[in-house]
A = this chain, B = another copy of it.
């Protein structure tokens, strides 16, 4: 039976490419417009998994998805880093000189700032999805419009790539989480994401990080989010290298429990080493 995965965006989008890279054959993708619905599909057992972007190496964390991850009580099963290459895609036969408007997701538009500086004649228009922008110009045969999207979107909708790699910075990667309803720890799981909060007091965060530093456990990322109803208090999302089934990690988490008022493991999964991170 096919693996059912919910994603945000249409066929040919970056999420779509990430899902195909992760699962390969036998994949059935549920395309949603809003991230809220992506999470709900899995939480309500309409799909086995969902795949969401959590962080981009240029624009930073997708904070909304951190909030939704906690709210929907899903678990991280896998991570995958996808190279993002933005292309200018148009109706086949259209020339660059004919283009007046460029449509794409606001983040993609922003990541191609230099291209727009070099082409001040082009007007930008925001859309909810990169691939959906390509579909729109192809379906409506808009010869004076182009879309910014991955090559998957051009292939999928029959668009023609006018320019490749128009992003300002080629070190552009998006990290995705594959989420499910149950934890999936295996001996290959070497990375863990947790979320915690503590009563504010001097040195509290330092002590929490000490739990890891004192055991030589590498941190990979820290992210803070506000706690609703408690102004200027924060939830901390932490990625570290370790397997929750192994002794040092178990000890560190037990130690952290002593220091926090809330602690949850969001998942323990094999890290994607296609682009190595060093500890912090």
Contact = CB atoms under 8 A, between A and B. Distances in A.
B57 A231 contact: yes
A234 interface: yes
A249 to B, nearest CB: 15
Nearest to A231: B57
A267 B58 CA distance: 25
A72 interface: no
B220 A221 contact: no
Contacts of A275: 231-232
A173 interface: yes
Contacts of A171: 228-231
Interface residues of A, number: 47
A229 B168 CA distance: 10
A83 to B, nearest CB: 10
A213 interface: yes
Interface string A198-237: 1011111111011011001111111111101111101000
Interface of A: 55-60, 63, 81, 169, 171, 173, 175, 198, 200-207, 209-210, 212-213, 216-226, 228-232, 234, 275, 277-280
